[in-house]
Structure 1
Amino acid sequence: MIITVTLNAAIDRTLAVPSFTLGRRHRAVEQTTMAGGKGVNVARALKLLGQPVIATGFAGGATGTRIIEHLTEQSILNDFVRIREESRTSTAVVDPTTGVQTEINERGPRVTEQELALFVDKLLYLAKGAELCVFAGSLPRGVADDFYARMIGELRTLGVECVLDSEGEPLRQGVRARPDLVTPNEPEAEELVGHEFVDPVDRLRALGEIAELGARQAVLTLPDGCIALLEGPGGERELWRATLEPLEPVSAVGSGDAFLAGYIAALYQGRPTPERLAFAVACGAESTQHFGAGTLDPRAVERLVPTVAVERITAAEPLAGIVGGA
């Protein structure tokens, strides 16, 4: 079983608005509303990929009820802690004429110490039957920045693999707890390591820096695929690159969540590294053809997989010290 944790779950509303301009009145030509938050999106994609998954987190008020109802309607197993304050609503505006998207995410509810304690008890109970747990997204108010780090420590002692997909201080502190995998995009990775990336070598070096901070493995997602520092069969570190010509997007909202779901699905199935990366990139790309985060067509994903170029990166001089022993 795979657990996805979404502490700041939401109702996500995505609108297609041609020629979107600030300060103007517009009419949407298409819209969709569904349960959201990064972990929820990952759970949706995993379900579509046929993997055993349960979504958990916080759900509050009428919005929280809608989140649970949406997941139940999609046959996604879920077990959320109900809280007093209202869960958030997030809105994404996609301009189909340019492909530009604008996201507005509400701050979300404040969680009490008692509600947080209930969630910890629930997560530790669910972890007894799980092999892998994904901690994804932002933290609601009232939850300390080190929460992911503490939970990663708890679950690793239970033998549960931990994946972290967050940003800012929760990501920084979470990495120190030695998660099995972190999957930042480029801006998140730059913030984590404390400097901007000027060229491709900077990105590769950043993977080594993330490993030095504590992550066992790291995947940096990019518009055309990803680069990754992963453990080889003998525990040695290997650098990989996977690329795919970007598709003309309908909406890129949640494509990173679909990428992560694809990687986890392939990992859960025991696929070798090149197949995991190709499948992940194909999932992320295919999801851009749909309206709604975490939505994809598994058959279309399989058709894309052979078109993903995956290569092992050898340790040239600028990369000395990144690859090799863990």
Structure 2
Amino acid sequence: MFNKIITITLNPSLDTTLWVDRFDLKEPVSAIREQIYPGGKSINVTRVLTALGIKSKALGFVGEQNITTFIQLLDQEEISYHFISVKGTIRENFSIVMPNGELFKVNRAGFSVEQSVLDSLQSNIESEIKDGDQVLLVFAGSLPKNVSKEQYKTLIQNLSDEGIQIAIDTDIFTEQDIKELKPYIMKPNEVELSHLAKTENMNEKATCEYAKKLSQYATHVLVSRGDEGLLYAGNNELIQCSVPEVEVKSTVGAGDTTLAGFIKALKEELPIANCVQFAAACGTASVLLEGTGVISLEAANEMINDIRVTKLS
């Protein structure tokens, strides 16, 4: 198990959600409301863990030109962090909520990162780990410009080789990469799972079979399936959690919230079925929030009884 959680974000973001009351391609449309959040998948994991009462620290990079806003937002949520400042700006993403509730999302490119800075990040991670620490490192999200998949994989592999447990939530790697990295946790969604399987339109049986295959390489495999719920494969178990029909306000960050919920439950050494159930409850509670808002522990606990757990094997 683990007693320390560190999340790694190479490409953080400032996520701005804008609400509009009409859609017009010819004339400017004014936002009737807006909200800005600190973002990036691993940042979201730390935000949720913190809200759920679990200590976690965010490491990674930030662009020096707009770092002040980003740090202020993290401080408001009492997030623990240690970032390396690089030239450029933190990417600013925009989500536009239409009057009918549909979402239009634009993700911008961020800063560039050199190999020497990647090496500094590895040193920073290692300096956070003391003798006796059992650490879970969470690697999630996209890569900044100038960082290749191979560089990212090497960084993760170097740390894994030191006996550190790894969680991965990214669509960057192939099945062969997963086989070599042997993560403790991996959390693809259905689209990412099909990319890994190099196929399209996987049915439920194919999804289950491929999740079981990945569990040969990863200890815990979580597959987010939207309104179809959450699938778990690992330790020779296959578990499906069905979720209730709810009014979805935003799916942004729901997968990160699911992962954070699973990590919290694992850390508390709950039975695996309960870990999956709590993860599904967290993800479902998340879509009830606007923008990239963070759930509360109370909201997650209120949702648990509506999550049906089925052991498939």
Shared fold, TM over 0.5: yes
Query: CA offset at residue 144 of structure 1?
Result: 2.1
Query: CA offset at residue 22 of structure 1?
Result: 5.3
Percent of aligned positions with the same letter in both sequences? 29
**In 1, Cα distance between the equivalents of 2:255 and 2:27?**
30
In 2 relative to 1, CA 295–64 (structure 1 residues): closer, same or farther, beyond 3 Å?
A: same
Q: Would you say the 8 A contact 1:257–1:294 is kept in 2?
A: no
Partner residue in 2 for 1:83: 86
Question: Which of 3, 7, 12 is equivalent to 1:4?
Answer: 7
Matches within 5 A, 1:215-226: 215-224=218-227, 225-226=229-230
Paired residues, number: 307
Q: Would you say the 8 A contact 1:11–1:63 is kept in 2?
A: no
Matches within 5 A, 1:159-170: 159-169=163-173
Query: CA offset at residue 156 of structure 1?
Result: 2.8
Question: Which of 205, 209, 222 is equivalent to 1:205?
Answer: 209
In 2 relative to 1, CA 170–143 (structure 1 residues): closer, same or farther, beyond 3 Å?
A: farther
Partner residue in 1 for 2:113: 111
**In 1, Cα distance between the equivalents of 2:176 and 2:73?**
32
**In 2, Cα distance between the equivalents of 1:216 and 1:116?**
27
Query: CA offset at residue 20 of structure 1?
Result: 4.2
CA shift digits 1:145-201 (9 cap, x unpaired): 024432332333333221000013478635531111110111111111100134210
**In 1, Cα distance between the equivalents of 2:118 and 2:35?**
31
In 2 relative to 1, CA 208–8 (structure 1 residues): closer, same or farther, beyond 3 Å?
A: same
Question: Which of 177, 181, 195 is equivalent to 1:177?
Answer: 181
Partner residue in 2 for 1:323: none
In 2 relative to 1, CA 113–25 (structure 1 residues): closer, same or farther, beyond 3 Å?
A: same
- The unaligned stretches of length 5 or more in structure 1 are 232-236, 315-326
Instruction: Provide the secondary structure at the position in 2 that maps to 1:31.
Output: strand
In 2 relative to 1, CA 294–153 (structure 1 residues): closer, same or farther, beyond 3 Å?
A: farther
What is the TM-score when the length of structure 1 is the normalising length? 0.88
Q: Would you say the 8 A contact 1:185–1:222 is kept in 2?
A: yes
- The unaligned stretches of length 5 or more in structure 2 are none
What residue identity is the alignment partner of 2:96? V
Q: Would you say the 8 A contact 2:212–2:238 is kept in 1?
A: no
**In 2, Cα distance between the equivalents of 1:16 and 1:172?**
42
Query: CA offset at residue 7 of structure 1?
Result: 0.4
What residue identity is the alignment partner of 1:66? T
Matches within 5 A, 1:117-132: 117-128=119-130, 129=133, 131-132=135-136
In 2 relative to 1, CA 271–13 (structure 1 residues): closer, same or farther, beyond 3 Å?
A: same
